[in-house]
């Protein structure tokens, strides 16, 4: 069940040098982004005379990372989930991935794990893997934090284990993408960017929102030629996704397009307008925002270092992608001097009496002093 060093050595032999270099580059950029994002371990400031307050960031002790494999091999998923945990300083990172048909683990995932220094890797199918991480077994350690996308059965298992004291970092459903474009955007690039997310699966969503009906028509005309370049399974996925959950929406203005994006709260949002930074100022809800036509969704997925494990199903309205911050606990820290306590004592006394907590009041009265 546990992957040993022999299998990891074999994984390096199975993964060609170009792919190994790509994995290392993807990890390095994700590491760099998360190191930039990581807050100081302790920040304190005297907010008023005698009152110092701040925050202490501490990594969680352990995390279980589930890497799906139902529709392919996804070392990039492991990288985007595990790299922030490494940067955060999580002591125990445990990877679980379903075995391939021959019982082996995907070699690219094993190489990525080794490059990140993650040595606890287990082969287990979805629901069983989630259960093993949540409750622990003779071989799989128990963790208190789980992260990783999966099919509906995996998601259901993640929901269940929360009632047993395990936190699930984020429920990552089928992928969603939206492009806001105006007449300045290249329709060929728009068509390809729609397929970028649509090829993930038949349950994916890919939408173009534009104030130009002509633009929408040009993109529609170009889609068949690019669909024909996809292998059969990916073409079927993309065609199903576009017919069920995709399409073009023509609006009156870019501002209206932004309002629609805020309502939809897509996982991935690309802004392909003449002034993408101006449009950026209109966006409130999105898992990620990629600016300009030189920033395709695939760049965000693989190479920039920004999080690619992002909220779906409208949860971008209230939560964020998986970053180093996801693995850090923020603990408030405060210190009062005698002078500081005297300054706040009247507040404590009045609120304590009103809420009928006499011990609250006695605790400050026993220390003496007045403001």
Instruction: Give the residue numbers marked as catalytic.
Output: 267-268
Reading the block at residue 121, the tokens are 């890797």
Q: List the Cα angle 135/136/142 in 5-degree steps.
A: 90
| C-beta separation of 122 from 140 below 8 A | yes
Q: What is the rounded distance in angstroms from the CA atom of residue 219 to the CA atom of residue 187?
A: 5
Other CB atoms within 10 Å distance of the CB of residue 225: 10
- What is the chain's length? 371
| Closest to 236 measured CA to CA, from 272, 265, 263, 198 | 198
Alpha helices in 208-288 (DSSP H): 213-227, 232-245, 254-264, 276-280
Sheet with 167-168, edge to edge strand ranges = 120-123, 92-97, 62-66, 145-147, 167-168
Which residues sit opposite 334 in a β-bridge? 53
355 phi and psi angles, rounded to 5 deg: -90, 5
Q: What is the rounded distance in angstroms from the CA atom of residue 267 to the CA atom of residue 256?
A: 19
Sheet with 288-291, edge to edge strand ranges = 246-250, 205-210, 176-181, 268-272, 288-291
* CA terminus-to-terminus distance, the chain: 65
Q: What is the rounded distance in angstroms from the CA atom of residue 127 to the CA atom of residue 132?
A: 9
């Amino acid at each position: 069940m546990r992957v040993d060093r022999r299998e990891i050595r074999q994984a390096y032999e199975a993964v060609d040098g170009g792919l190994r270099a790509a994995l290392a580059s993807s990890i390095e950029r994700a590491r760099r982004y998360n190191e930039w994002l990581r807050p100081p371990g302790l920040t304190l400031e005297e907010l008023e005379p005698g009152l110092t307050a701040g925050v202490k960031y501490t990594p969680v002790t352990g995390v279980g990372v589930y890497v799906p494999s139902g529709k392919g091999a996804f070392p990039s998923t492991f990288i985007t989930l595990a790299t922030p945990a490494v940067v955060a300083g999580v002591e125990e990172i445990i990877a679980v991935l379903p075995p391939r048909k021959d019982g082996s683990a995907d070699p690219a995932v094993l190489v990525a794990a080794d490059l990140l220094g993650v040595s606890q890797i287990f082969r287990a199918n979805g629901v069983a893997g989630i259960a093993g991480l949540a409750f622990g077994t003779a071989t799989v350690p128990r963790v208190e934090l789980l992260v990783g996308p999966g099919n509906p059965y995996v998601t259901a298992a993640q929901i269940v284990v929360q009632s047993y004291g395990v936190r699930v970092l984020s429920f990552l459903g089928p992928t969603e993408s939206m492009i806001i474009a105006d007449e300045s955007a290249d329709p060929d690039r728009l068509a390809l960017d729609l397929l970028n997310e649509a090829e993930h699966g038949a349950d994916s969503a890919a939408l173009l929102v534009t104030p130009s009906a002509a633009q929408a028509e040009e993109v529609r005309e170009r889609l068949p030629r690019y669909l024909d370049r996809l292998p059969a399974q990916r073409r079927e996925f993309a065609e199903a996704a576009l017919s069920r959950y995709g399409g073009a929406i023509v609006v009156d203005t870019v501002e209206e397009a932004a309002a629609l994006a805020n309502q939809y709260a897509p996982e991935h949002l690309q802004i392909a307008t003449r002034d993408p930074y101006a449009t950026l100022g209109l966006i409130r809800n999105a898992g990620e925002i990629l600016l300009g036509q030189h920033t395709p969704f695939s760049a965000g997925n693989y190479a920039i270092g920004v999080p690619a494990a992002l909220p779906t199903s409208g949860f971008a309205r209230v939560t964020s992608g998986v970053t180093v911050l996801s693995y850090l606990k923020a603990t408030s820290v405060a210190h009062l001097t005698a002078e500081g306590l005297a300054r706040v004592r009247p507040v404590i006394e009045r609120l304590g009496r009103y809420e009928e907590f006499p011990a609250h009041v006695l605790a400050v009265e026993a220390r003496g002093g007045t403001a």
